[in-house]
Chain A
Amino acid sequence: MRKFLLASTALAFSAGMALADEVKMGVLLGFTGPIESITPFMADSAELAFQEINDSGMFLGGTTITPVRADSTCVDSSAAQAAAERLISSEGVVAIMGADCSGVTMAVLQNVAMSAGIPMISPSATSPAFTTTDSNGLFFRTSPSDARQGEVLAGIVMERGFDTVALTHTNNDYGAGFANAFAESFAAMGGTITITVPHEEARGDYSAEVGALASAGGDALVILGYVDGGGSVLRTAYELGAFEQFFMGDGMYGDELVAATGESLEGTIGTIPWAVGEGADAFQALAEAAGVNASSSYTRESYDAAALLALAAQAAGEATPAGIAANILRVANEPGEPILPGELAKGLQILADGGEINYIGATNVELVGPGEAAGSYREYVVEGGEYVTVQFH
């Protein structure tokens, strides 16, 4: 008995020590599901930022951050909530980097994070709904809202001389929100949308959807969805000769799409949140040195989301949910010393000394209040199976 007591005391003591030196942060992304092909790179990028913080040894007097991964599934809200619950109650994370797809992110935010008071920074939830949702200052994102992307994409379609288009979107929060934003901007620019057809993911056959789109007509087809469903619609539409020109949103971007659609994709034009400049280059170099695939989508946003969480904790002087939530805007925006990827140690030092920083990061981070980020988009065209940059918006 005595031995047992001693042992358990020692165990409790060492656990207490570990707690003081270690803080956990959740990485909640869809490791299975429709975007499983891009999430590993996103998680790697986020963990790259945490690693950089740990290596510096300057985070809250030598505390280390342990990232804990959990699966949001991208589509299954109850699974995502269960994963978030586990992160918060059994892993004891102080903040969550995630989630990814808009639908599950909203579910996790409203049903789990807000009641637990845990801040979230999503790298990729782009639904316009987050701009207007009151999250008690707990939700932030490093990618801009689809309201802006809809506007940019509508402008690109117009500029290329297509003023009558058919529109199809994946049938969820992301697709519907994006489609609304696109339709509003496009109509305001004087364009006509002949029909809007939602499509489901994981169907065997999309000829009925394409038939309806073709019957309505239009000079081009705008597809706002994912590689799986959206890619199949694109291929079917091309093969049935319904449309020759396609426009697409960020959810479709990826090498899988090129593999799945082949020549049908040639000449397709699209948008994706992207950043250029010093920060993006610095991240590229950093990721290459660490062996992380940086050219995948939302890797920069993931790095920035993770870095912001750590910097906010440093600014608060304590790794607590409330402290992090209250300081995210302070470290993300002006005034202060600009901080690029790879300079996190410098940022931590300035904050420790009581100074101010303006985190630029890989994506020129500028948070417009909780739930909204300003950002830039890359316009690309597919030529010879490659995504070729046209310009930035």
Chain B
Amino acid sequence: MEPLNALVSVANFMLVPALAYGSQLALGALGITLIYSILRFAHFAHGDTMALGTAAVIGGTWFLQAQGIGIQPLPTALLALPFGILVMIGYLLTVDRMVYRYYRRVKAKPMIFVMASLGVMFVTNGITRLFMGVGETRFEDGGRFLFTVREFREWTGLAEGLALRSAQALTIITALVVMMVLFWFLNRTRAGKSMRAYSDNEDLALLSGINPERVVMITWIITAILLVLAGTLYGLDKGFRPFNYFQLLLPMFAAAILGGLGSPIGAIVGAYVVAFAEMGITYAWRRVFTYLMPEGLEPTSMMQLLPVDYKFAVTFAILVIVLLFRPTGIFKGKVL
């Protein structure tokens, strides 16, 4: 039973949270990689746009709750998702029309786009705080757990327990479904193929009659869907606080670059690597090894590589190492 206890313990404290966190990052990193490959710039406003999208969903959730509409035991926020997505599509297309389209027309350098997106980031950031404030907002309702630690212990009789929160399960399942739909869209539909063609070779795509503005529009629409999903799932899991969304920017970019910019599968793999590295390196492994090692050889130290405070340092280190030694990332993406 000892190895089983070790497994359950590590799953409870690290694997399940990291899997949920990785899924949230993956949805965000997919958006970054899409924008990078189609519009050819690093979208710095990603984190704060995610916060604004989540704010729209929260607004929708409050409205539905006030009307007494819900889908117990699932969170009401799921019902409000379409509303949030519509708001974000409108917002992103407006921003594109007002800001980015001009720079596309004058064929500005990518760095100018990046700076423009930085400006958009500050504006978006301000709008979110205007509506939501800076504090924490919890909008999770419905059943909180699929099963709790105590229930798990009763079923299995193990010393260690495992909890699975509905928000975590929901995140993992939704992320899987969205990824599959996205790959189907990119590989099988006409619009998806035209996006890939535009990404591979812009001039050739234009010659073969692909409308660039249409490709750009579809990209923003898909980005809006990914953003709102990622933001809402993150908020359901960990609570909504605008600053935390801004902080997500670093791990999301690390994931996209690690996987290879412009490669959707790379963004997903990169996201899980970043999530597991962050959690694994700052996790104290003593309990696990106490179960695994023979008696008398239990570790006396905490077996923790880095203190918890250094979580973001792990992400940063990954980013630096990848850029130094393999700038194209795992899946041979573009170089930033």
Contacts and interface: CB of A to CB of B under 8 A. Distances in A.
A9 B309 CA distance: 62
A160 interface: no
Given A208-B311, A212-B283, A241-B148, 13 more contacts: A195-B284, A202-B241, A208-B279, A211-B283, A212-B282, A212-B284, A212-B302, A214-B13, A215-B304, A216-B284, A240-B12, A241-B150, A241-B153
A208 B309 CA distance: 9
A197 interface: yes
B308 A205 contact: no
A207 B279 CA distance: 9
Interface residues of B, number: 37
Contact of A215 (B153, B237, B285, B309): B285
A241 B308 contact: no
28 contacts: A195-B284, A198-B309, A203-B244, A204-B244, A205-B21, A207-B13, A207-B279, A208-B278, A208-B282, A208-B283, A209-B308, A211-B14, A211-B279, A211-B283, A212-B283, A212-B284, A212-B302, A214-B13, A214-B287, A216-B302, A217-B287, A228-B136, A239-B165, A240-B12, A240-B13, A241-B12, A241-B153, A241-B161
B286 A241 contact: no
Contacts, number: 77
Contacts of A217: 287
A241 B287 contact: no
Interface in A363-392: none
Interface in A183-220: 195, 197-200, 202-205, 207-212, 214-217
Nearest to A195: B302
Contacts of A200: 309
Contacts of A204: 234, 238-239, 241, 244
Main secondary structure of the interface of A (DSSP, over half): mixed
B126 interface: no
Interface string A348-375: 0000000000000000000000000000
Contacts of A209: 308
Interface string B135-178: 01000000001001110010000001101010000000000000
B258 to A, nearest CB: 20
B301 to A, nearest CB: 10
B59 interface: no
Nearest to B287: A215
Top 7 A-B pairs ranked by shortest CB distance? A241-B149, A215-B284, A204-B238, A211-B13, A241-B161, A204-B244, A215-B287
B308 A212 contact: yes
Interface of B: 12-14, 17, 21, 136, 145, 148-150, 153, 160-161, 163, 165, 234, 237-239, 241, 243-244, 278-279, 282-288, 302-304, 308-309, 311
B308 A197 contact: yes
Given A215-B285, A215-B287, A239-B163, A207 B17 contact: yes
Contacts of B288: 215
Contacts of B308: 197, 199, 208-209, 212
A205 B244 CA distance: 10
B284 A211 contact: yes
B29 to A, nearest CB: 17
A74 to B, nearest CB: 14
A242 B241 CA distance: 25
Interface in A131-159: none
Contacts of A241: 12, 148-150, 153, 160-161, 163
Nearest to A217: B287
A228 B303 CA distance: 29
Contacts of A239: 145, 148-149, 163, 165
Given A214-B13, A215-B302, A240 B163 contact: yes
A200 B237 CA distance: 19
B243 A202 contact: yes
Contacts of A216: 284, 286, 302
A199 to B, nearest CB: 8
A232 B249 CA distance: 23
Contacts of B278: 208
Contacts of A215: 13, 283-288, 302-304
A211 B302 CA distance: 11
Interface centre among B13, B238, B282, B285 (most CB of A within 10 A): B13
Nearest to B240: A204
Contacts of B17: 205, 207
A239 B151 CA distance: 11
A207 B165 CA distance: 13
A24 B155 CA distance: 66
Contacts of B163: 239-241
Nearest to A262: B144
Contacts of B303: 215
A199 B307 CA distance: 11
A261 to B, nearest CB: 12
A201 to B, nearest CB: 10
B4 to A, nearest CB: 16
Contacts of A205: 17, 21, 237-238
Interface centre among B160, B165, B286 (most CB of A within 10 A): B286
B159 to A, nearest CB: 10
A132 B250 CA distance: 43
Interface centre among A205, A214, A242 (most CB of B within 10 A): A205
Contacts of A242: 13
Contacts of B311: 208
A302 B136 CA distance: 28
A359 to B, nearest CB: 38
A109 B235 CA distance: 40
Contacts of A214: 13, 287
A211 B238 CA distance: 16
B23 to A, nearest CB: 14
A225 B199 CA distance: 51
Nearest to B12: A240
Contacts of A203: 244
Contacts of B279: 207-208, 211
A13 B270 CA distance: 74
Contacts of B153: 241
B256 to A, nearest CB: 20
A52 to B, nearest CB: 34
